[in-house]
Structure 1
Amino acid sequence: MASSATSSPALPDGWHDPLDLEAVRHARVLPLDVVQAKGNGHAGTAVSLTPALYVLFQEYLSHDPARPDWEGRDRFVLSAGHTSLSLYLQHYLSGYGLELDDLKKARALGSLTPGHPEWGHTPGVETTTGPLGQGVGNAVGLAMSARRTHALLQPDTTADGGLFRYRTWCVAGDGCLAEGVSQEASSLAGTLGLDGLVLIWDDNRISIEGDTAIAFTEDVVGRYRAYGWAIVEIEDAEDPTAIRAGYDAALAVTDRPVFVRLRTRIGHPMPTVGGTAGAHSGAPGEPEVAATKVALGLDPDQHFAMPQEALDHARRVRERGAAAREQWEQRYDTWRAADPERAALHDLLRERDVTPQARERLAALRAEPQAVATRVAGGAVLNAISAELPWLWGGSADLAETNNVAISGARSFTPTGYAGDEWPGGPDGTLVHFGIREHAMGAILNGIALGGYSHPFGATFFVFSDYMRPSVRLAALMGLPVTYVWTHDSVAVGEDGPTHQPVEHLWSHRAIPGLDVVRPADWVETVDAWSRILTSDRPTGLVLSRQGVPVVGDLVPADAGARRGAYVLADADGTPDAIVIATGSEVGLAMQAREALAAEGVAVRVVSAPCLEWFAEQDRAYRETVLPRSVTARVSVEAGTGTGWHRYVGTNGEIVSVEDFGASGAGDLVLAERGITVDAVVAAVHRTVATVREDQMEETAR
């Protein structure tokens, strides 16, 4: 579309080509046209960030818009996801497949330009962002993945010369840096000396409530310097020369992450709304849009204008990107031919194959069950398969040995030259020490998974999964292969008391669409659960006990047990009088209740249900064999709230659950005090059987 233009007083000299200037000044008013036409959205930050992002995408970012999935590309994360138009603009200009019509449809149902960037939906979007600060954690995870992959595949090559050592760029706003998750993640990145990570802070000092001085006054640059980051400051976000100097300085740092303070005026050059909270969101008004266009030397009566010549010029980045990718592919082919052993490792990382050796070790573990806590069984699995599956790595929020994820003999993920004796390691390590940072751990795990070479795991006590929930939700939204090892799963935690005893957490996490919540009953179910988790492309919460549990699942074949989500563990002769459904440590209790009821002449089927999500995936015929509709006398038993069990026990059923917080005391005594006992299950079965019989008698009488 043609557009009349004069001079551009709002932009200084410093552009390599007049067409760059044309592209930038037309592009930066497109968000205003979009938001004004829609009446809602976030335009201001997109307007003021356009020059800095244009320089980044055109001159610094290694990417090929025609191949957004190219392995050798740099990663760009827009942590400030509300300014999605900032990213969509650069994808439009770079030729990722977005056109003006897509920008006009921003935030519309079914468009390629949703209100916040969504991974897997819009080509070129590296992660789903919007909850502030999450993208910073994702960027740290992406950078960790790049460091480790390089160390595994090209340990003798410098980072700059590595095929898999992409650079991670992240743009964050004031809100991102105020959120605790970004502070946790940035602290860890500094400790790791995570080179290859560049975090650009859009320092505009405006949030929804206005001047950030009302709530956010610390020395942010000083904070990042204290974290151990290198600092770069760009005082004028309108000056391409200053922007380039800042980026060059960032690239010159090779031993730590880089924090770039980019000083902007939100919405610049909007004359009235710019620099105020009014620029953050909402339609600025036609007069303001027109005045901004005039300030940029554009025709105020033209809307959604972009000179074709300027667009064609900007899209020449596709040629540069294709050339960079082709050169990378040639280097990759040469490397692959020269080092077939590491090439095979690359294939293993990329495909996340479960090797035959790993399968054999899982089968051997299953064949020799032990009556131990399921957290111990989980640790046995990791120790057995870790060396065979280099794509499976992760760690704990300072609880590795307690969560049983400290793999014997495995190296820790540490910087090169780390001097500690307790956890020897290096950048190729398997065990990550996240520190006491559950929220950041969750966001970092997502970034590691997005890196494309890993199935990461992260461990903590189940009660602290609350700290991780926003990240877990985003993993489910994206469908990422992440496993959360959540141990100490109920009031049986014992003496630490109710602050450390999860009660509502099982059903709270089951409420997240796309998250598999697995609570195995014993050693066998834990092995079977891991066997399925390793092939999953979605997140899993593996909920494990602190206390020892008996072996109950050893007589059931692997393909008929926990992998199906729920299964008949013990049955009655003929039609059962009642069905008891249990999970985790309560399965053993259900088996004891079954024996007591049998002595009283009540025939009971026990169903172990380690994962209700997996059970729901089974066909209707299988589900009917496990929970036949004809048997309405049902009891569920689980040491947590009974919130969702009504779906499975029905109107005649009974729920044995914990409906209050726990208490400080020995775990078995707390369980008994909160009603998780054999006697409670037996009494519940008697009640539900009596209810069903009364109903049957009434039906017969009618």
Structure 2
Amino acid sequence: AARFNQDNYVVVDHHTYVFVGDGCLMEGVSHEVASLAGVQKLGKLICLYDDNGISIDGEVKDWFADNTAQRFEAYGWHVVDDVDGHNADAIAAAVNEAKASPLPSLICCKTTIGYGAPTLAGTSSAHGSPLGDEEISGTRGNLDWKYGPFEIPDELKEAWDCRQSGAESESNWRQQFAEYASKFPELAAEFERSVSGELPSTWESRMAELLKETAESGESKASRNASADVIGVIASMLPELLGGSADLTGSNCTIWDEAQPISDIAPGGNYVYYGVREFGMTAICNGIALHGGLIPFSGTFLTFMEYGRNAVRMAALMGIRNILVYTHDSIGQGEDGPTHQPVEQLANLRSTPNMSTWRPCDTVETVVAWKAAIERQSGPSALVFSRQGLPCQTRDEAQLNDVARGAYVLRDAENPVAIILATGSEVDVAVQAYDELSGEGVAVRVVSMPSADVFEAQDPEYRDSVLPPSIRCRLAVEAAHPDYWRKWVGLEGNVIGLPTFGASGPGAQVFEHFGFTPEAVAATVREMI
């Protein structure tokens, strides 16, 4: 609205309604999002609370005794308390009051679950179990409902039929938008493009140019910093890009020079300071993606993905574009120790259906990962980046093109007897081991696999060209849980991974302690062949 609305032309103007129950407000995520909504003064947000005092285990008074109205008032919300949830006029009046408030609103609707049921009304038995024929018959009598199953009386159908009024509202909006387009053609075209999800016509050429520039510069840097560079370029092309971080902006490198933070007095910004709210942040980005017209991305440490895990899973289940930036991707992040060092999180992400996961090894793969994430509209993408610096690998043009296929041959030999697979920071470890083995006359291939799911989607011919079935001597190297890699190395292969939690210390020393060194990789290959 802040971007597109003009004087006398309001093309974006709607409310968002949320329906919650007692259980919803017990969940911790309700605190995260409601707290932030109050700070942001989201006056277009109206939440109707079905206060029936019942959850699956029974009456909630023994485990949920909050004063919900006061709780939300403390967040800075407008609260309409003690509304009869069975009275349509009372609810309508409450909604109108909420619409008039500049604050987010909570409407507390007092209801009886299973209303009208002779013996089950107001009990947990009405929560999810069928009432049964006898109870249904009694309910019909108590509600004076004389109609058959799925029979809707004409007068009620007509009262609730909004097709004509909806069509009139849409027609009025379209007429206004036509006038808007004649007066602000560039804004109108941009509005239609962003709402449709279409990328600008210059997208492909500019990203190809960026990839070429990045490869030619050959700059060594942490992939989180490489990500920041790419974000800046993408943001200049996509005004609909909306970034944010859970209190780790500087560490995640998710902000760019031209970014404008969103606040209650600056709603037209493009960056959200989410605070320490990983679950809320990820869920909010799900909602933004479902709304359309914006492309959300958010950042936190990879290990803190666990706090937002349910929302991550829901993004995949719903098939929406939610870009998840996870930095500090391994024990390489060092001194913070095991509490901050991810181990099982990569396997978790990779095993989530419809999740695309990228772990780039350098600046070049980072460009490709971001491009893939922006273009993927059928599900979320997890972009996993390092804290520590990574060297830029040399590639020819064919290899550069093959990065987008998820895995490719980075180093090769004539008639290789072994394959080393690696991702992220361990790719350079594998390349150094390759150099050592090649110097000894051992023919080895190095495969960089930044995105296993993208590689799996390639045609069998390409997959076999990268990982020939005849080469059974395969070693995967990744500073994460090893079990995921068994499918790629097979029964005759091996994995240098991290089956335990990490340790506190300088990143390079921790890597050496757990055997992620060129010498250890080379020694393992020698043993295997």
Structure-2 separation of matches of 1:662 and 1:156: 58
- The aligned runs of 1:419-434 (5 Å cut-off) are 426-434=266-274
Q: CA deviation at 1:379?
A: 0.4
Which of 309, 329, 346 aligns to 2:154? It is 309
Match of 2:489 among 649, 661, 670: 649
Structure 1 vs Structure 2 CA RMSD: 1.6
> 2:6 & 2:319 partners in 1: Cα distance?
31
* Pick aligned residue for 2:254 from 395, 401, 405: 405
Question: Taking structure 1 as reference, are residues 216 and 257 closer, same or farther at Cα in structure 2, changes over 3 Å only?
Answer: same
How far apart are residue 354 of structure 1 and its match? Answer: 4.2
1:469 Cα deviation after fit: 1.0
CA distance in 2, matches of 1:564, 1:238: 56
The Cα shift of 1:472 comes to 0.9
1:165 matches 2:165: no
**Secondary structure at 2:284 match in 1:** helix
5 Å-filtered alignment, 1:69-80, equals none
1:435 Cα offset (Å): 0.7
Decide whether the 8 Å contact of 2:50 with 2:85 is kept in 1. no
Deviation at 1:428, TM superposition (A): 1.5
Shift of 1:215: 1.0
Q: Please give the secondary structure, in 1, of the residue aligned with 2:69.
A: helix
Which of residues 21, 26, 37 in structure 2 aligns to 1:189?
37
Contact 2:399 2:408 in 1 (8 A): no
176, 199, 210: which one pairs with 1:353?
199
Distance 1:446 1:305 in 2: 34
CA contact (8 A) 2:395 2:410 kept: no
Cα gap change, 1:355/1:403 in structure 2, threshold over 3 Å: closer, same or farther?
A: farther
Residue 443 of structure 2, aligned match among 603, 607, 610 = 603
CA displacement 1:354-378 (0-9 Å, x = unmatched): 4526434454344323111000000
Q: 2:339 is paired with a residue of what secondary structure?
A: helix
Q: Per the alignment, do residues 303 and 688 of structure 1 end up closer, same or farther by CA in structure 2, a change over 3 Å counting? A: farther
What amino acid is aligned across from residue 357 of structure 2 in structure 1? Answer: V
**Secondary structure of 1:532's match?**
helix
Q: After superposition, give the CA deviation of every residue in 1:13-55 in whole Å (9 maximum; x if it has no partner).
A: xxxxxxxxxxxxxxxxxxxxxxxxxxxxxxxxxxxxxxxxxxx
- Structure 2 Cα separation of the partners of residues 558 and 180 of structure 1: 46
User: What is aligned with 2:242?
Assistant: 393
Alpha-carbon distance in structure 2 between the residues aligned to 1:684 and 1:508:
27
Cα distance in 2 for residues equivalent to 1:683 and 1:342: 61
444-453 vs 243-252, which deviates more? 243-252
- Find the aligned partners of 2:301 and 2:186 in 1 and give their Cα distance: 39
TM-superposition CA deviations, 1:123-152 (whole Å, max 9, x none):
xxxxxxxxxxxxxxxxxxxxxxxxxxx111
Aligned 1:288-303 pairs, distance under 5 A: 288-299=135-146, 303=148
Matched position secondary structure for 2:390: coil
Instruction: Kindly state the Cα deviation for residue 558 of structure 1 after the two structures are TM-superposed.
Output: 6.9
Cα distance in 2 between the residues matched to 1:680 and 1:320: 72
Matches within 5 A, 1:8-407: 150-154=1-5, 156=7, 162-253=10-101, 255-299=102-146, 303-310=148-155, 312-314=157-159, 316-350=161-195, 351-356=197-202, 358-359=206-207, 360-407=209-256
Contact 2:194 2:240 in 1 (8 A): yes
Report deviation, 1:583: 0.3
Q: How does 1:433-444 map to 2 (within 5 A)?
A: 433-444=273-284
Q: Following TM superposition, where does structure 1 have runs of at least 4 consecutive aligned residues deviating by more than 4 angstroms?
A: 556-559
Q: Within the alignment, does 1:639 sit opposite 2:486 as a pair?
A: no
Counterpart-to-counterpart distance in 2, 1:651 and 1:579: 14
Shift of residue 234, structure 1, vs aligned partner: 4.4
Task: Give deviations 1:267-319, integer Å, cap 9, x for gaps.
Answer: 112122111111111122322211111111134xx641524423541453111
Q: Distance in 2 between matches of 1:345 and 1:553?
A: 39
Instruction: Name the residue aligned to 1:626.
Output: 466
Residue aligned with 1:346, SS: helix
Q: Secondary structure of 1:172's match?
A: strand
- Aligned-partner SS, 2:112: coil
Q: For residues 324-368 of structure 1, give each alpha carbon's deviation from its aligned partner in whole angstroms, at most 9, with x where no partner exists.
A: 111111111111111012112213312340452643445434432
In structure 2, what is the Cα distance between the partners aligned to 1:241 and 1:454?
36
Return the alpha-carbon distance in structure 2 between the equivalents of residues 378 and 155 of structure 1. Answer: 34
Counterpart CA distance in 1 for 2:447 and 2:200 is 29
Q: Is residue 389 of structure 2 the alignment partner of residue 522 of structure 1? A: no
CA–CA separation in structure 1 for the residues paired with 2:432 and 2:49: 59
Q: Tell me, yes or no, if structure 1 residue 531 matches structure 2 residue 371.
A: yes
Identity across the alignment (%): 40
676-685 or 646-655: bigger deviation = 676-685
Question: How far did 1:554 drift?
Answer: 4.2
- The answer for unaligned runs of 5 or more in structure 2 is none
Given candidates 672, 677, 684, the residue that maps to 2:524 is 684
Letter in 2 for 1:408: D
Residue 601 of structure 1 aligns to a residue in which SS? coil
Report the CA distance between 1:556 and its aligned residue: 4.5
CA change 1:310–1:558 in 2 (3 A) is farther
Aligned partner letter, 1:399: L
Instruction: Could you tell me which runs of 5 or more consecutive residues in structure 1 were left unpaired when the two chains were aligned.
Output: 1-149, 417-425, 690-702
1:568 and 2:409 matched: yes
* Cα distance in 2, alignment partners of residues 596 and 311 from structure 1: 80
Q: Distance in 2 between matches of 1:451 and 1:542?
A: 22
CA gap of 1:362–1:652, structure 2 versus 1, over 3 A, is closer
TM-score (normalised: structure 2) = 0.96
Aligned partner (choices 521, 535, 543) of residue 384 of structure 2: 543
Kindly tell me the number of residue pairs found equivalent between the two proteins: 524
Deviation per CA, 1:99-141, whole angstroms, max 9, x where unpaired?
A: xxxxxxxxxxxxxxxxxxxxxxxxxxxxxxxxxxxxxxxxxxx
In the alignment, the residues of structure 1 paired with residue 137 and residue 74 of structure 2 have an alpha-carbon distance, to the nearest angstrom, of: 44
> For 1:571-621, what per-residue CA distance to the aligned partner results, in whole angstroms no more than 9, with x for missing partners?
10x210100000000000000000111122211100000000000111000
What residue identity is the alignment partner of 1:525? E
Conserved? CA contact 1:355–1:388, under 8 Å: no
Name the CA distance, whole Å, in 2 between partners of 1:497 and 1:332.
55
Map of 1:131 onto structure 2: none
Q: How does 1:485-524 map to 2 (within 5 A)?
A: 485-524=325-364
Distance 1:447 1:650 in 2: 40
CA contact (8 A) 1:407 1:431 kept: no
Query: What amino acid does structure 2 have at the position aligned with 1:271?
Result: P
Checking the alignment, whether the CA contact within 8 Å between 1:503 and 1:658 is kept in structure 2 is yes
Contact 1:354/1:535 (CA < 8 Å) preserved in 2? no
Rounded Cα–Cα distance in structure 2 between residues aligned with 1:339 and 1:557: 44
Give the whole-Å Cα distance in 2 for the aligned partners of 1:366 and 1:217.
60
Judge conservation of contact 1:556–1:569 (CA < 8 Å) in 2. no
Do 2:399 and 2:410's aligned partners in 1 also have CA atoms closer than 8 Å?
no
